[in-house]
């Protein structure tokens, strides 16, 4: 009977360690998910800025081309 009690105690301690490890993993996973979410938001902001800059450059180039064509035609 003592052997059974000792085995059950070891089992309970092992389950406790597993539960503790699972909580730690969950906490790290939540933190990593938040970190990745922040990185995605930053990347989207950078992308939007890059697109806006590209559009502005395109407008400027079109304007410059138009002025050059006007000069060449005159």
pLDDT tens digits for range 3-33: 989 988 999 999 999 999 888 888 889 999 9
The total number of residues written for the chain in this structure: 74
3-state SS assignment for residue 1: coil
Q: Which residue bears the tokens 């969950």?
A: 26
Mean of the pLDDT values across residues 47-51?
97
- Binning pLDDT at 50, 70 and 90, where does residue 42 land? very high
CA distance 47 to 15: 47
> What pLDDT sits at residue 1?
78
Span between the terminal Cα atoms of the chain, in Å: 108
**Average pLDDT score over the chain:** 93
Q: Which residue bears the tokens 């138009």?
A: 66
What DSSP character marks residue 74?
A: -
């Amino acid at each position: 009977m003592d052997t059974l009690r000792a085995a059950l105690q070891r089992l309970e301690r092992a389950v406790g360690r597993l539960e503790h490890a699972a909580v730690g993993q969950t906490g790290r996973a939540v933190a990593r998910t938040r970190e990745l979410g922040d990185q995605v938001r930053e990347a989207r902001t950078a992308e939007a800025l890059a697109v806006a800059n590209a559009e502005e450059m395109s407008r400027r180039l079109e304007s410059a081309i138009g002025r050059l064509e006007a000069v060449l035609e005159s």
